[in-house]
């Protein structure tokens, strides 16, 4: 991390804000527009639903119409993409491949979480109070996942935080 912290934070806020606008305007979680009813699932939710229905309905024989997605969990894509974009010193090819891997991991996590929420609610009929308690660790882990992935994928760039290099005369 050769960069000044304030500049890093400023870039993080700016990129995250831009990604927010993109995420919201494209209607990722909820469809936007005056003609669409409030709360109608957006393209990302539809995508998760499609993959899960392929996996669970066609392969495992479940009979489900719609999977209720845990929305707060699905938002960790933005901080991860922001961190990977703003970190200096990663070659474009490596950046793109790591960004793709990270996104695949996060999407995989979203699928697991959506399935877990469905099973907790519909499969095991976990009472809402117990579900609330279970959801806290899962939400916390989801929130922290972009940070862990960033440290792993931008390891050379954050290495300075872990090992202080000696100056060679």
Note the residues at the interface with other proteins (CB under 8 A): 1, 5, 8-9, 12-13, 16, 20, 23-24, 71-72, 75-76, 78-79, 82-83, 133-134, 136-137, 140-141, 143-144, 146-148, 150-152, 155, 158-159, 161-166, 168
Single out the residue of 79, 81, 90 nearest to residue 3, CA to CA.
90
For residue 57, the minimal CB distance to other proteins (Å) is 28
CB 47 within 8 A of CB 35: no
Min dist CB 137 to other proteins, Å, is 3
For 31, 84, 86, 110, 161, the CA distances from 90, given in Å and listed in that order, are: 35, 9, 10, 27, 16
Write down the least CB distance from residue 81 to other proteins, Å.
Answer: 11
The residue among 56 and 158 lying less far from other proteins, judged by its C-beta, is 158
Compare residues 60 and 161 and give the one whose CB is closer to other proteins: 161
At 27, is the secondary structure helix, strand, or coil? Answer: coil
DSSP label at 30?
B
Q: How far is the CB of 8 from other proteins (least distance, A)?
A: 7
- What tokens were used for 31? 């469809």
* Residue written as token pair 């491949």: 97
């Amino acid at each position: 991390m050769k960069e000044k912290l304030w500049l890093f934070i400023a870039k993080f806020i700016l990129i995250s804000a831009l990604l927010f606008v993109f995420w919201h305007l494209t209607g990722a979680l909820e469809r936007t527009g005056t003609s669409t009813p409030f709360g109608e699932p957006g393209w990302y939710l539809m995508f998760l639903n499609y993959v899960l229905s392929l996996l669970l309905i066609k392969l495992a024989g479940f009979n489900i119409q719609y999977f209720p997605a845990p929305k707060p969990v699905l938002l960790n894509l933005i901080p991860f993409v922001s961190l990977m974009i703003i970190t200096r010193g990663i070659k474009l090819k490596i950046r793109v491949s790591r960004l793709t891997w990270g996104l695949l991991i996060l999407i995989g996590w979203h699928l697991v979480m959506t399935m877990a929420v469905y099973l907790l609610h519909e499969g095991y009929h976990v009472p809402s109070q117990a579900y609330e308690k279970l959801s806290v660790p899962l939400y916390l882990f989801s929130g922290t996942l972009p940070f862990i992935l960033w440290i792993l994928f931008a390891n050379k760039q954050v290495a300075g935080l872990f090992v202080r290099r000696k100056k060679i005369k």
